[in-house]
Structure 1
């Protein structure tokens, strides 16, 4: 089945070539299982606004949403530890067996989420159990991607490696797309009340079917021929962690891969897809059916872009395509999101432009809440900021002394006190003032420019394709076969898990703290610029490099 078509380095195969039919099988089997794992992982992300109310105490919508995002981020924070754990086994035991373990963990944890009790039923035990399952998912996903990318790359010749591995890169968007479609069908099939009470469990329980199918597919795979070769020669690394991160130049390459490519790629991935979806639903108040429709349409249109930019990286280089995507995103995120706001809720944009909303508060009483839990204490200022942020209202913050009155003023009207904030009194007074000033509480479907909204999301997913399609080929080509699984996994999952996965949490907290609905975009822009500088100066392109046993 496996035919060596060129060798060097004392007979170790540089290029492993298999028949096209077998290559398609390897790529399909790796990709389909990875799609299902991403589906499992992103179900939570898509339903984060629901989890905010199901698993956290009521009374503060932004705080609950931040808590839901923090739980979402927990799965990302542990991904590098999963990369270390499963990467070691992948480099010592084999790629195929780790595939089976990671998908069992991911599928089992996702199925269990569908069985969890809510905060109303068991109190703080509910979010504790949810965090535990999210951590299990994160560990499993930490071992998944590096294995899939390494496994496919080790079956592929260098001339087409960017294109072939870009098929693996479509799986993340494919899993996101599948999660959106399943959730949408569930929400259309039952009432909103039933979905909020019990229908949200259905997509998680359905993952059991996908788990069984994925295991069946992966059992048909053989071990990577390159890994089989070095293991048969007794050349597999006995200390992959040490060799990857404490031996030069592998440790230098891992750091450059993280800061010069993976970090920028991670924030652009989550901005162009998840943050865009949250912006539509939470900030712009677009009905979920329309928001899902926009995202699904854009994702379907964008699939060929991943293959195109993977192919392009085979022609002009991996580094060039990735850094160009980072640069375009950093230059255009602010105008793109402003255009998106105008396209989906022009009444809210017009309201923001003509209406000044001012929060006068003592800065000592205004806290930045990122990780929310039983330890959190929300002041009157926090409650007022939450009320405005939850409605997508931009506002100015004026600091006053401890003796001055803390108030909200809408369009120069009568100041509304925020002391002893109660939603039924202070909040209703603020909402009444906003309505009198022409505030639109929901986006009017008749005013939504759907073609423009879809086009803007396609552009942002195009940036995702630029940075994401070549990243697998770049990473696998940077490291030798003995430590490739470990070396690829850790920088990728720190870049995506820590830099990218923290994006919804950090950006949402930044918006609430500043009163500017676009302020959260500074986070992905700063990280993207960092990757442009470091990658541009120090990262070497890997196009054409063979997958050898030595660095």
Structure 2
């Protein structure tokens, strides 16, 4: 089986991809993932700002804790979305799965914007809210793997990190868009008006964004790796079974890499900092609008560092880029709460900006890293399920854990300790993996791809 180097202008299957095709793929993955994560983060932002009062008010002091718990509930269903998307993505293609996840996420988000509150329909309100959040989780579980593979499998070998960063920047772009729209609505509908109707508008805007995402994604060609698998009739019959039979330990280690990033990232994307800094009964009591703008500003820093990390990983490798990222993330974790606790919006922005530099460097290379870990025939299942498990272990209940730690200790030092622990866990998992930057991704190289990247193991 040939393992000759792939020319820089070729896709992983050896076919020449036009500049126009590659640009279209990059644009489509950025737009699609931005729309998906806008929908996902709008919920997290609303959970920190209004859902406790509107849907869980009878729980009193525990309303915010339960509101954050509903953010985490969706993560428990991400593996279901990942299993379904992985199975159908490895059998029927990346593109069809991406179209379906986009519709599911958009429909669930828009319906949340139409939900009556607890005061109107009682216990049915939080139940319906949780059900729609579950649908968001199923969609998010299937979205990321498909977007990543569309980007990386279209990329030249020497630019996978840069191409793979395109779906990754959809996360900070989604956070920027979600925080920006929420901040604008806080200005248009201040005070009680925001509670009455202002928070609903960002959810309903999802309908427009989904139409844009659908239009862009339908114009993209199927991944060349999957197209070749289909042509050769080499698609795995039961990709998930093969994944866990041969690569279970790899899935776990890859999940821990993401968990180290995700737990820290959900301090903002999960709405925790927004709630901690604006809660009128809390230690800071800052105004909602300026805090949302500070979060939006930090999302710009996150976007730039994520994009930079993708390019850097093409130069020095995924593993080395990650190690730099973990060190930067530790710096951000140690400086976050001392700056936030000054009570200054400017210092809050600075704390988040420092944090997001490290977050970008531990997120930007992830698409390329994951794609290079798994064989072509089960790659969609491998990257999707690793990502979903990592999200559960990392971000699922990070805001709730942080809230509980502050309630139990009366300060944020324990939260810092928790985030340091998760960062070190991600670093250890990264060090367990060999760097496979540039490994051929096409179906001709399944034997090479199946050799375990875990140190100490020769075969998966």
- The verdict on how the C-alpha distance between 1:224 and 1:78 changes in structure 2, with shifts beyond 3 A counting, is same
Contact 1:15 1:158 in 2 (8 A): no
Structure-1 residue corresponding to 2:84: 85
Task: Specify every segment of 5 or more residues in structure 1 that has no aligned partner in the other structure, as ranges.
Answer: 346-447
Superposition CA RMSD, Å: 2.0
Among 352, 356, 363, the alignment partner of 1:468 is: 363
CA distance in 1, matches of 2:272, 2:440: 37
Contact 1:16 1:155 in 2 (8 A): no
Higher strand fraction (1 or 2):
1
Deviations 1:186-237 (A, max 9, x none): 2211232122112211111111111122112222122111101111101111
Contact 1:272 1:461 in 2 (8 A): no
CA apart distance, 1:113: 0.4
Contact 1:479 1:487 in 2 (8 A): yes
CA distance in 2, matches of 1:306, 1:17: 27
CA apart distance, 1:16: 4.7
Contact 2:180 2:293 in 1 (8 A): no
- Higher mean alpha-carbon deviation, 152-161 vs 210-219, is at 210-219
Taking the TM superposition and a 5 Å limit, the aligned residue runs for 1:260-409 are 261-271=257-267, 273=269, 274-282=271-279, 283=282, 284-330=284-330, 332-342=332-342, 345=343
Structure-1 residue corresponding to 2:162: 163
CA distance in 2, matches of 1:90, 1:38: 20
CA apart distance, 1:7: 6.7
CA apart distance, 1:453: 3.6
- Higher mean alpha-carbon deviation, 330-339 vs 133-142, is at 330-339
- The verdict on how the C-alpha distance between 1:140 and 1:235 changes in structure 2, with shifts beyond 3 A counting, is same
CA apart distance, 1:84: 0.7
Deviations 1:386-413 (A, max 9, x none): xxxxxxxxxxxxxxxxxxxxxxxxxxxx
CA distance in 1, matches of 2:12, 2:45: 44
Mapped pair 1:235 → 2:234: yes
CA distance in 2, matches of 1:156, 1:241: 25
Structure-1 residue corresponding to 2:417: 522
CA apart distance, 1:52: 0.5
Task: Specify every segment of 5 or more residues in structure 2 that has no aligned partner in the other structure, as ranges.
Answer: 451-460
Contact 2:332 2:356 in 1 (8 A): no
CA apart distance, 1:498: 3.6
SS in structure 2 at match of 1:116: coil
CA distance in 2, matches of 1:272, 1:114: 21
Taking the TM superposition and a 5 Å limit, the aligned residue runs for 1:451-530 are 452-530=347-425
Deviations 1:336-387 (A, max 9, x none): 3113312xx2xxxxxxxxxxxxxxxxxxxxxxxxxxxxxxxxxxxxxxxxxx
- Higher mean alpha-carbon deviation, 301-310 vs 322-331, is at 322-331
CA distance in 2, matches of 1:295, 1:7: 42
CA distance in 2, matches of 1:24, 1:463: 27
- The verdict on how the C-alpha distance between 1:218 and 1:334 changes in structure 2, with shifts beyond 3 A counting, is same
Structure-2 residue corresponding to 1:203: 202
CA apart distance, 1:262: 1.4
CA distance in 2, matches of 1:331, 1:182: 30
- The verdict on how the C-alpha distance between 1:302 and 1:334 changes in structure 2, with shifts beyond 3 A counting, is closer
CA distance in 2, matches of 1:541, 1:508: 37
CA apart distance, 1:168: 1.3
CA apart distance, 1:275: 3.6
* Number of equivalences: 434
Structure-2 residue corresponding to 1:51: 51
CA distance in 2, matches of 1:532, 1:33: 30
Q: Calculate the TM-score normalised by the size of structure 1.
A: 0.75
CA apart distance, 1:246: 1.1
Structure-1 residue corresponding to 2:177: 178
- The verdict on how the C-alpha distance between 1:111 and 1:13 changes in structure 2, with shifts beyond 3 A counting, is closer
Taking the TM superposition and a 5 Å limit, the aligned residue runs for 1:207-226 are 207-226=206-225
Structure-2 residue corresponding to 1:545: 439
SS in structure 1 at match of 2:35: helix
Q: Calculate the TM-score normalised by the size of structure 2.
A: 0.90
Mapped pair 1:115 → 2:9: no
CA distance in 2, matches of 1:135, 1:59: 21
Deviations 1:64-85 (A, max 9, x none): 0011111111111211111011
SS in structure 2 at match of 1:237: coil
Structure-1 residue corresponding to 2:255: 258
SS in structure 2 at match of 1:479: coil
CA apart distance, 1:532: 1.8
CA distance in 2, matches of 1:224, 1:270: 31
Contact 1:327 1:529 in 2 (8 A): no
- The verdict on how the C-alpha distance between 1:449 and 1:328 changes in structure 2, with shifts beyond 3 A counting, is same
CA apart distance, 1:546: 1.9
Structure-1 residue corresponding to 2:123: 124
Deviations 1:22-73 (A, max 9, x none): 1010110121011011011111111113000100134623x00011111111
Contact 1:15 1:547 in 2 (8 A): no
